[in-house]
Structure 1
């Protein structure tokens, strides 16, 4: 939409200003991302030069000041705030309440990104009465961001719903797209990745219909990429991140670029590409520091901490994560992200042996999560989502009824038939509503059960981690070797069970354990525990296989015992060697093999240790209705066969 203003003065030559021109006595201004997407690196500099040639009594001056300030927040928050405050001063002198309100919305958006959450909320609420309802969607969008950053997800969803309501009422696709984008982010924070992806894709579809690839379109691309990562679709996620980065670099959206490189670092870490992940994390930090945004700086350091945690450099990870917390302070408003930092920090401390500090960090993470994910917020969002869905269905029905009315006026001959059809449709609609209500109730109950089951696994995992930490602290104080060995064996058994529950909690599949990934993690843990990673090669030779938790735990404990025994007895005097584990399903049975190329078991050699490990293996084998055979050639090989209906 082009803006024209009649001027009573002669403006300087406009050849240098592609966005502002004087033509035939009228002043023409192309709004970026409304009339054009020509937002190149020099766009803001051109507007800065042009604005001082516009008389202070021209309403165009306030609009240009607002645009400069709003879009500068993608590059320099302090410069952005200076222009907005200049515009507010001039608007108040002229008593222009409309532009005062618009400028206050931009001021609130900038203060939000400067982490001034209370002040941002105050400014936005003051602006509500100053601008017309049709243009208030950006105000409510930023209020939603404020509450999201405070960890009040229920209230955030209320304001996102207001944005959607305004968009639908006035047919504003940009407002609807913004609402869907915001809702997708809120669903993601709740762990509802499918719903998040659905709303994110709906938002992108509306943005693309507008044909203008702006800041908010770029951010939504990043969000959809993040949802795909959590849904285990990394290749698709990478495409969205690359598209987002291209737009960010084209337009200079430093905040979006920092967001995208953080997501890329997390994805590359998940894929095991730690070198590239480190570079992405540093790139995210560079853009965050250019923007001088504490929140983005905090998240960039968190991403770097995660990279180093996953690559095994726990001390460096702890340094990054502690810097992340220092960047915003322990009382930072966004408790969701702060909880994630403490969760990673707990892993770092545990990684280099500071178990007491790890326990404190883990508890802090849990406390922050409980403040964010309250039952009240969950109910509030669910209720608003239901109301929103019902409203959209009612609007669709009204449109259909209007079309039927038009047909009845044009075609009198079909009145009777149309009446019958309406009655039938009404009855079918009533049946549909009843079925929908019943289906929604069942779905809600299933979600509640799934949430409770996930919470149980999470709590079991946390409790087992606490027990492991306590055992570690106790082991450090035991000097008697045999008792120390017993406690260490108990520690590895507890960790084995804890890894099962961690797998269930992280993967999102609350019933089945991915055994290949579990064995790999268990092997790494035991080798690290025995300080044998450098001399013993551990391999898992099997295809992907999932077992339910009732079978996975006893099989995991058996493998734990056998790997531990191999490390203790099969390779004396720091010998090198290898240990191999495999588990296959065949003919209604499970076949487990654990082998090593060590010295083997000497005949008639007395039982070493307490003998409890052998008793435990025998007991667990009988529990799974299995049998064990031992091959003592070129090392030791234990073979187990379990009946599948018992083991699985």
Structure 2
């Protein structure tokens, strides 16, 4: 570009100077500002408005990349004001985009969203929406930080659609990969894999190396969470091979870290250890603080799982210090969890309990911050919509007034009497409008009061469910600690059964405070999570197959709690007694609507109930019968092929 600068003149020379300033902005800040200031001076002499604005933005970006955010913000605002003064709408769009990026970096999310929306609105009004693709995507990033995942996905898909129309496959793939990343964060792993795969398909045969890595990595992370281990492993190995061939200093250790995570989750701890150590070495070579932190965290849990507690503590301590220094609360939460597990391995339950309390404290703080951001974002959205509606009403009123004036002028020409009648009617209309305005104001005030009260009640109810869940979790933890100090026998078994019953109730309250609907539970999700917890608790391995056939049914809390306890008792009873050493066991849970009733069936292909079992019902079976009666339901037991429990209860009970 410097060779091009020697021959360029006029506006072309200003454009080249701005390109050089932009290029240097990432590393050589003084050089970026030097060329940006020359561009500004020459653009001013030529009265080249677009060149002046771009020079402001480029100088601002140099300060931004250097970490001098406040100075960058002043320059971005100056570029906007100068664009407005000189009627340069495209320069104004560039200024709003740059200002939004600066606000975003300062975590002024509402201000960032406002700047991006200004850019997008101008792009639409100028019929240059393609110039707003970055703002559309960045607005998605803001919504994502605020926890508004659906709105973030909508922005990313809009940006991808625009780039599809422009034929820019690389940028389209990047936004689709963002969609996959949001679904991954939201634990919707099927959708995450789908969109990451779409993104990768667009660029797998192109030179978009970073986008390929981003999309393929997202796909492999989703595959790992979907228990498609072989596919995830093959994908990560492809990424690692490409990273090594390209000599990418960040991609290679990141992929080693992902492999370590995958191996660790699959129980291949030696392989996990090798990959994690390779990742740590790579991140230390490029001095990536976040990568080093994540590697120490991973090594902490790997060493803990293989019983090397001293090494686990060592890596946990380093990770904890780094997380506190760099304020990475998400990592700190994981570290406290792994520390608690390591202390439990060596029998230091006091320290384990203390670490577990720290884990819960950080977790609660993060949940509170997420909810605060979500509420603030929704409030901003509501306020913006309300302002738009007011503007629309005002415009309609102005249009109506202008029409009335035109009609009055025509009437004045035709006849004075008609004019008098119109004036009289106008006075009547005005009086009615004034009265209506008072009524509307009163209605709005009542509406605001109702909405405020509703939000306060909703927040209080969520807090109640949250605290109930935490209290149940504390009780469960105390039972768990107590059971470890007990010999195997009926007492220890009873304590474990108590834990699983508490878990079934705790899970309901956890569902309620983590969703928008506070009065009803999605039983499909609830049964799936409860079943997974019980299978894991009884350590069935692969000898017993879990089959869930449940419909999307919403139940209220009064019905979900006893039904959850019933399911807990029947699954736990089957896992304990039905199979002995059977290798091909199957436990099936079915829950569906049947006309005006619900039907729950828990069945197994085990050895069946013992002879005369009716005469010696244990506590679990008595509890099931009590809970069925509470639901006003009917219990049927079939002991012909394994054991089958069919419970039917009317919908009015739910």
CA deviations over 1:201-250 (Å, ceiling 9, x no partner): 66677x57995859877665555566678697966994697358737986
2:32 aligns with: 87
Aligned-pair distance for 1:438?
7.4
* 8 A contact 2:337–2:356 mirrored in 1: yes
What residue is the counterpart of 1:67 in the other structure? 19
The alignment partner of 2:26 has SS state of helix
1:114-153, Cα deviation, whole Å (9 max, x unpaired): xx7x534443335543662443554554454455455553
- What is the DSSP-based 3-state SS (H/G/I as helix, E as strand, rest coil) of the residue aligned with 2:323? coil
Show the counterpart of 1:528. Answer: 536
Of 620, 630, 633, 1:613 maps to 620
- The worse-fitting range, judged by mean Cα deviation, of 319-328 and 268-277 is 319-328
1:103 corresponding residue in structure 2: 58
**Residue 343 of structure 1 contacts residue 365 of structure 1 at CA under 8 Å; is this kept in 2?**
yes
Is residue 500–residue 534 contact of structure 2 (8 Å, CA) maintained in 1?
yes
CA–CA distance in 1 between the matches of 2:488 and 2:187? 49
TM-score norm. by structure 1 comes to 0.67
C-alpha RMSD of the superposition:
5.7
Gaps of 5+ in 1: 1-47, 73-78
Asked if residue 190 in structure 1 is aligned to residue 141 in structure 2, the reply is: no
Residues 1:240 and 1:562: Cα distance change in structure 2 (over 3 Å): closer
Q: Distance in 2 between matches of 1:95 and 1:484?
A: 78
Equivalent residue, structure 2, for 1:3: none
Change (3 A) 1:596 1:200: closer
2:364 to 353, 363, 366: 366
In structure 2, how many angstroms separate the alpha carbons of the residues matched to 1:208 and 1:399?
36
Correspondence for 2:645: 638
- Measure the CA separation in 2 of the matches of 1:200 and 1:440: 33
Determine the C-alpha separation between the residues in 1 that align with 2:337 and 2:261. Answer: 9
The reply to whether residue 242 of structure 1 matches residue 242 of structure 2 is no
C-alpha spacing 1:189/1:103, structure 2 compared with 1 (3 Å): closer
Cα distance in structure 1, aligned partners of 2:531 and 2:122 = 56
Contact 2:160–2:171, Cα closer than 8 Å, also in 1: no
The 5 Å alignment of 1:258-269 reads 260-261=215-216, 263-265=218-220, 268=223
1:124 to 59, 73, 83: 73
Structure 2 equivalent of residue 27 of structure 1? none
Counterpart position of 2:323: 330
Partners of 1:597 and 1:636 within 8 A in 2:
yes
Change (3 A) 1:93 1:605: closer
Classify 1:63/1:520 alpha carbon distance in 2 versus 1 (closer, same or farther; 3 Å): same
| The one of 616, 629, 644 aligned to 1:622 | 629
Shift of 1:479: 3.0
Task: Name the CA distance, whole Å, in 1 between partners of 2:214 and 2:530.
Answer: 33
Q: Distance in 2 between matches of 1:262 and 1:407?
A: 63
- How far residue 81 of structure 1 moved from its aligned partner, in angstroms, is 1.9
Query: C-alpha deviations, 1:338-390, integer Å up to 9, x for none?
Result: 55556677888899987766664453243244345537x84476247524652
**Counterpart in 2 of 1:13?**
none
* Aligned residue-pair number: 578
CA 1:572 to 1:302, structure 2 compared with 1: closer, same or farther past 3 Å? same
2:285 paired residue number: none
Alpha-carbon distance in structure 2 between the residues aligned to 1:581 and 1:495: 18
Which residue number corresponds to residue 564 of structure 1?
Answer: 572
Partner of 1:602: 610
Which of 589, 593, 598 is the equivalent residue of 1:581? 589
CA separation of 1:162/1:582 partners in 2, compared to 1, >3 Å: closer, same or farther? Answer: closer
Q: Distance in 2 between matches of 1:526 and 1:313?
A: 23
Corresponding position of 1:29: none
The Cα shift of 1:104 comes to 2.1
Distance in 2 of aligned mates of 1:177 and 1:427: 44
> Cα deviations across residues 238-275 of structure 1 (Å, max 9, x unaligned)?
46973587379867483x65654565456556655455
Q: How far did residue 66 of structure 1 move?
A: 3.8
Q: Which residue of 2 aligns with 1:44?
A: none
Cα pair 2:473 2:506 within 8 Å, conserved: yes
Structure with bigger RCO (C-alpha 8 Å, 6+ apart)? 1
CA distance in 2, matches of 1:253, 1:441: 54
CA change 1:169–1:545 in 2 (3 A) is: closer
Asked if the contact 1:163/1:179 (under 8 Å) is kept, the reply is: yes
Q: 1:558, CA displacement in angstroms?
A: 1.3
Distance in 2 (alpha carbons) for counterparts of 1:496 and 1:507: 17
CA distance in 1, matches of 2:383, 2:31: 43
Structure 2: runs of 5 or more not aligned = 45-51, 85-90, 281-289, 296-318, 346-351, 413-418
Instruction: Determine if contact 1:65/1:83 at 8 Å carries over to the other structure.
Output: no
Specify whether residues 250 and 102 from structure 1 end up closer, same or farther in structure 2 by C-alpha distance, changes over 3 A only.
farther
Displacement of 1:622 after TM fit?
2.0
Q: Distance in 2 between matches of 1:257 and 1:489?
A: 49
Superposed CA deviations along residues 555-607 of structure 1, whole A, max 9, x for unmatched, are: 22112112222232333467763322223332433332223333333335799
Distance 1:437 1:341, change over 3 A: farther
Task: State the 1:494 CA deviation.
Answer: 1.9
| Superposition TM-score, scaled by structure 2 size | 0.66
Decide which of 555, 575, 580 is 2:563's aligned counterpart.
Answer: 555
Pairwise CA distance, 1:554: 1.4
- Aligned partners of 1:244 and 1:260 also within 8 Å: yes
1:78-227 superposed matches below 5 A: 81-82=26-27, 85-92=30-37, 96=41, 98=52, 100-108=55-63, 111=65, 118-129=67-78, 132-134=82-84, 135=91, 137-149=93-105, 151-157=107-113, 159-160=115-116, 173=129, 181-196=137-152, 207=162, 211=166, 213=168, 221-223=176-178
Matched, 1:483 2:438: no
